[in-house]
Structure 1
Amino acid sequence: MPPSDSLDGGPPLSEGEAEDLLRCICFKTGPPRALGVELEWFVHDLLRPHRPVSSGRLHSAYTALHSLDLRSSLSLEPGGQLELSSPPAASLSACVTAVSADLAAVRTALAALGLSLTGSGTDPWLPRRERILREPRYDAMETYLDRWGASGRSMMRDSASIQVCLDSGLEEPGPLGFARRWRLAHLLGPVLVASFANSPVLHGRRSGMRSTRQSLWTDIDPMRGLAPPMGREPRSAWAAHVLDTPVMCVRAAKGPWEVPKELTFRQWLRGPVDGLRAPVRADLDYHLTTLFPPVRPRGGHLELRMVDAQPGEDGWIVPLAVTSALFDDPEAAEAAYRVLAPLTETAGPLPPPRDAHWRAAIRDGPDALALHEAAVACFGLALESLHRSGAPAAVRDAVAGFHERYVLRRRCPADDQQAPPPTPTAPGPAAPAPVTSASASGKEPRP
């Protein structure tokens, strides 16, 4: 969750100081030793999942969950989604064990309250979810995102994901080096989107896409959901991207937060800006939380943010296991990079996630031939790595089962979602139009 509404003081931040912080802190390097996962879930009525759960009931359930002895941290998202964020784990096995135990405790507590968790990239049943968090930062965030259309509100209220967190990597070149891991994350991204697509419905209607959730994140505004240019050195590219992205909102100790227009963080640093105080370090920290690229570097680790929430009690284990195997095993990482590198030749001129392969992943999932072939190869490499590393048999079996049920059959979890029942649609923003062939090829970039 973002910082609290309290205003941190401190001296004004200079442009040079901001650049140094972004280069040094976001890409802290070291041997890959830890991984983690952040899981978002929709909370539904256990017996009547097609009926909305009131905000009072959700808040009461959230309060009850805080009495549990969990290793993961709990947070509530604007639309009532529940997020569990694991602590850094020393191994895949340790991460799976800790999060599985926490999820079991959470599910048991929710069931006693007549509630359940649903794993899906967008809500598969409700026409539109209300925003239940009424705080200045979310008011300001919604005001800003509304300037760019309906996707921002839907992203906040109606989406849920799995985020895999991996160490940035080593300083030196090679498969475990931070520059290679940064590149691999963006190459693997559309393969993960296509393989784990699980959001064909938005606001109770079919959207025409396999991963509607990723489409929402792609379309929130012209820069906030984009990756920096891939051809540049990662630290410099990321620092420039952060500073040249518009400021979403300016924190305030009391009252509404200001939402400036067309003000980049770099312009704010260079100030003075009429009506605004000078930015401090805490403003840069907050600004980072308002950037939503598919891969986000934070404090020495990479957040891979492109995977839809998965169905079932343990569906989340498969993307975690596959991703960690392809990154932290040098043999698998090198082989995966060789498999994925040719995709850059046909990606087109737009940055991820707006290039041709990301758009194809969003719209077509594994029906995109290049992504299907890459997924078959990458899952094979991940299975070999998991066997070499001695991963738990249950984890290997889960990955092998997904490989057999979906990857080899050119399917994804979205293909299992039933058409939603005819439910009256509440007034509100319409679902985004399906991605067109032209936009997937990079000819018509969408805002």
Structure 2
Amino acid sequence: MNVAVIGIGRIGLPLAVTIASRGHRVTGCDIDADRVARINRAENPLPDEAGLGDLLARTIADGSFRATTDTAAGVRDAAVILFAVRVDVDADGRADLSHLLAAVDTVAPALTPGALCIFDTTLPVGTTRRVLAPRLERGGRRLGEDLHVAFSPERLLMGRVIEDLTKYPKVVGGVDPEGGRLAADFYRQTFGGEVLLLSSAEAAELSKLAEGAYRDLNIALANELAMVADVHGLDIAEVIRAANSQPYSHIHVPGTGVGGHCIPVYPRFLMQGEGPSALSALGRAVNDAMPGYVVRRLAALLGGLEGRRVLVLGLTFRPDVAVTFHTNAVDLRRELEALGARVEGHDPLLTPEGIASLGFARAAEPLAGYDAAIVHSYHRAYAGLDWARIAPVVVDARNALDRAAVEAAGVRYLGVGRPPTPAS
């Protein structure tokens, strides 16, 4: 079967080469000419994505996968078109569909009769039926006759996309009944895992938003409990371990907010006015406030931050993945600078230009002589750091460090919802 994947970025490229490796002929379409050229040379643009390099090299070599900037040509003979175009939020917190709509408008006139279009992304409820399917029909095809449309949200973690494609059930919902059935059959044949065919595209859209809102609210609860623990001088890690020993409790880990493509974004799709969203808004408010809360705790510990040199370690949104979308490292920098600190950033996964693009002065090697260090993303490369040389105080922004090891180095430890090491 000929398949086209629209958008070959963090999700689309691993998805495309995996489908190609399963016996389909896949064309990846993207507007980034440099990325397309590199991919066609079998150069992996995502070295932190497990297994991608080998699959890309193999599928390029055997001709089952190719990339192009000519999207219309790329979809002309495709029986299935997967849209993996990222949807973000605009300045008002509403879904920004501009890139996805541009892709749809390019694809619509080139669709082959009977084509199945699947939106493999995350969208506000009703978007597939009310916005995207009608735009596809503008190309001359009629929904339910010679055009079928379905929604199937990505349920993937960056860094292990290929593994996750078959790890979790694939959720599918059709705009037209045949679209749902065809999409479910396609995923069963391609990935061989469980497929949950829901009653509609709207049900599938809401299921994805439910996942994101649950995680955001769970983290907000963990963060609120951490602040209670701080009031009473308790260690939230101990408290959560005890709570989670009960099988109905699954409290997550507190930290300085939530970053990335997903969790900070998708609850806002519920907050656009299509239904009640007070709880989602509250979770967002709690998590968005955490960088400032942690910086104020550090300021209290040091007796102020005016003129203090502070190092932020790990600027990506999570460890060992070179992605900076909505990273809370930027929020930490802003809060630190607001209290007069002189802030530098370090991240082994980013180029000097990437560090500068986040507004950080780049930390010079060797890392030493700071008044405090904040570990935002604890990359594997940081496992052997000499904490005593770096700073006398280390803030564990994700409660990811070995507290005993930090204190054994003679350094004061401060976690989120964890008492600081007493002054010696």
TM-score class normalised by the smaller sequence? under 0.3
TM-score (norm 2): 0.26
When Rg is computed on C-alpha atoms for both structures, the one with the higher figure is 2
Structure having greater relative contact order (Cα 8 Å, sep ≥ 6): 1
Q: Quick check: which one's strand share is greater? A: 2
